[in-house]
């Protein structure tokens, strides 16, 4: 069975809402080796909340450095732990002694 080089055409994915685009812009601006939690992004934007930020990343986050948005306790996004940990190592992100979580105190970016 031959697999096509490009996927078959389907309905176009809707463009991100203005809020979603703002979230994606913030994630794109996070420097390598630094992170912002979902709630940090919502607070930085002064709108919505962590769940809405998470929903944006779940839908459109593949095009931005999604691994730079761990949970508030420093754990990587669920289901993407291995990939995120590899990115953290590559970028020199400060980690907790257990090696499974980002050291949020040292790695958190304030958006400045």
Is position 10 within any domain? no
CB 31 within 8 A of CB 112: no
Indicate which CATH number applies to the domain containing 85.
Answer: 1.10.10.10
Please check whether residue 4 lies inside any domain of the structure. Answer: no
Contacts of 99 (CB under 8 A, 6+ apart): 85
For 42-100, write each residue's pLDDT tens digit.
999 999 999 999 999 999 999 999 999 999 999 999 899 999 999 999 999 999 999 99
Domain that holds residue 78: 18-107
- Judge whether 68 lies within some domain: yes
Residue 36 lies in a domain: yes
pLDDT value, residue 9: 46
Report the number of distinct structural domains present in the chain.
1
Whether pLDDT at 21 is above 60: yes
Q: Is 36 helix (H, G, I), strand (E, B) or coil?
A: coil
Please state the pTM of the whole predicted model: 0.85
Report if residue 7 sits inside a domain.
no
Q: What pLDDT shows up at residue 11?
A: 52
């Amino acid at each position: 069975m031959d697999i096509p080089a490009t996927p078959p055409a389907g309905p176009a994915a809707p463009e991100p809402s203005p809020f979603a685009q703002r979230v994606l812009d913030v994630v794109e601006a996070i420097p390598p080796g630094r992170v912002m939690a979902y709630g940090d992004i919502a607070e930085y934007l002064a709108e919505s909340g962590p769940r809405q930020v998470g929903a944006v990343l779940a839908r459109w986050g593949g095009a931005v450095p999604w691994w730079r948005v761990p949970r508030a306790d420093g754990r990587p996004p669920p289901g993407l732990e291995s990939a995120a940990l590899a990115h953290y190592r590559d970028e020199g992100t400060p980690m907790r002694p257990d090696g499974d979580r980002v050291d949020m105190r040292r790695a958190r970016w304030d958006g400045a």
